Structure 1
């Protein structure tokens, strides 16, 4: 969100090339943060947005006004979410209901100045529709950490879009989180070998 609002990829490349300031950024204070999903992570992002002075709105299939209010936000309809958001951040799990949920109609409803952020799951975006939207500069920017194909192919149209912030699914890649992942895996194996499995998946 911050990198997109302040055009950091362009400015970083300019500095690396020996240049200086090239673009005009936008601030977040007073802007509307739209959250597509208000679970654990969406709720944390709501707090971050509010720390910047953003107004928070949210939509998901089962979101209640009471749940939104717990995070200082307002529950709105799906169309209003896309139409009103200055920054639209995706925080849904991937399912049959969410696959392709950010499609052409939703992207067309967004402001030309809006930023789309997806650090959740790539296939929630209709990637062809998003590529077209960016090519026609119908929104300001898309900041993406997830894609429908990973690794993102080297010739993918998104790589050619100048109005993007693209990272290679690094949102969760930290030393501390990997220590938890691998520690849990070793614990699972030891418990299974001992005949006392833990973290057992249920149907």
Structure 2
């Protein structure tokens, strides 16, 4: 029997994915124990044929334990937690699910903007504590949204923002010029975007190349009323610098969905700031997105079992 090990809490739980796994006669093993550094992978990986990856890192050491592995498949888009060169050296294809969660992440970004603009977290806390602290917020129409990373998610967010009457600017060296023209998205350097935008939404890959992309120097370029939203990876933002900017009144608000360590250490001062809101890395967590990602993973496993290379393989040319 084919054994699929997953570190993704949502894989196989929603929609047609569980049925597809059962119909194929595959065994699904979950390694999602948050009390263990690897979720429990080391105890099960020796018998796994396929590794479906959530946020637990896949290293050369992981692969050394997986003697029966035939492929590594990301249940999501970002593969910064997968050592792709090590997978290639081991002869293992690596796939991901581009576009499957774009709508979900983009919609959360819009939710963050509404939450920040209308002080929703503070309003909720006031009402449930017996208070009635009404605050005057702002509207999104006419404001400037700066999107850093105009990929699948960024483009979906741009369309939603244009529908809200926002002006949209973006920073991406590989931006789709035809899309930008159609949706009236102005492409500009990151520094210019930060100075222009009322809301900055991050949608870039993690890893060393983008570590502390938004640091104290970049934050200093932003308007003191502007809000920063990180729906990318935790390391993309210098959280210390964000907390300092909020406290000093040099930043209007922050919304965070990704953290360097997950769950994060909530003793950090940013978690007590009234103008910061948080989600537990839930950008892709809709039933629709999780089903889409799962079906793509199932399709790629079936393709591999049929002796073919999936179109979504990231290292096919090196195998």
Q: Establish whether residue 130 from structure 1 lines up as the match of residue 239 from structure 2.
A: no
Corresponding residue for residue 269 of structure 2: 157
Q: Establish whether residue 176 from structure 1 lines up as the match of residue 288 from structure 2.
A: yes
User: CA 1:103 to 1:182, structure 2 compared with 1: closer, same or farther past 3 Å?
Assistant: same
Corresponding residue for residue 7 of structure 1: 119
Match of 2:210 among 91, 98, 118: 98
Corresponding residue for residue 104 of structure 2: none
Alignment of 1:38-117 (within 5 A): 38-63=150-175, 68-117=180-229
Mark the runs of 5 or more structure 1 residues left unpaired by the alignment.
none
How many equivalent pairs are there?
203
- Please tell me whether the aligned partners of residues 151 and 175 of structure 2 are also in contact (alpha carbons under 8 angstroms): no
Residue 64 of structure 1, CA deviation:
6.9
Equivalents in 2 of 1:39, 1:192: separation in Å?
27
- Please tell me whether the aligned partners of residues 38 and 68 of structure 1 are also in contact (alpha carbons under 8 angstroms): no
- TM superposition score normalised by structure 2: 0.58
Task: Supply the RMSD in Å over aligned alpha carbons.
Answer: 2.2
Equivalents in 2 of 1:183, 1:66: separation in Å?
30
- Please tell me whether the aligned partners of residues 119 and 146 of structure 1 are also in contact (alpha carbons under 8 angstroms): yes
Identify the range of structure 1 (64-73 vs 94-103) with the bigger mean alpha-carbon deviation: 64-73
Equivalents in 1 of 2:294, 2:171: separation in Å?
34
Residue 67 of structure 1, CA deviation:
5.1
Q: Deviations over 1:43-75 (max 9, x none)?
A: 111111111111111112344765532432111
The higher-RCO structure (CA 8 Å, 6+ apart) is 2
User: CA 1:194 to 1:32, structure 2 compared with 1: closer, same or farther past 3 Å?
Assistant: closer
User: CA 1:200 to 1:37, structure 2 compared with 1: closer, same or farther past 3 Å?
Assistant: closer
Mark the runs of 5 or more structure 2 residues left unpaired by the alignment.
1-112
Residue 30 of structure 1, CA deviation:
1.2
Residue 153 of structure 1, CA deviation:
1.6
Match of 2:146 among 29, 34, 40: 34
Q: Establish whether residue 20 from structure 1 lines up as the match of residue 132 from structure 2.
A: yes
Match of 2:279 among 167, 170, 177: 167
- Please tell me whether the aligned partners of residues 254 and 276 of structure 2 are also in contact (alpha carbons under 8 angstroms): yes
User: CA 1:38 to 1:191, structure 2 compared with 1: closer, same or farther past 3 Å?
Assistant: closer
- TM superposition score normalised by structure 1: 0.88
Residue 194 of structure 1, CA deviation:
5.7
Q: Deviations over 1:95-139 (max 9, x none)?
A: 433221111111011101101111122211112211211222211
- Please tell me whether the aligned partners of residues 58 and 81 of structure 1 are also in contact (alpha carbons under 8 angstroms): yes
Identify the range of structure 1 (129-138 vs 27-36) with the bigger mean alpha-carbon deviation: 129-138
User: CA 1:45 to 1:189, structure 2 compared with 1: closer, same or farther past 3 Å?
Assistant: closer
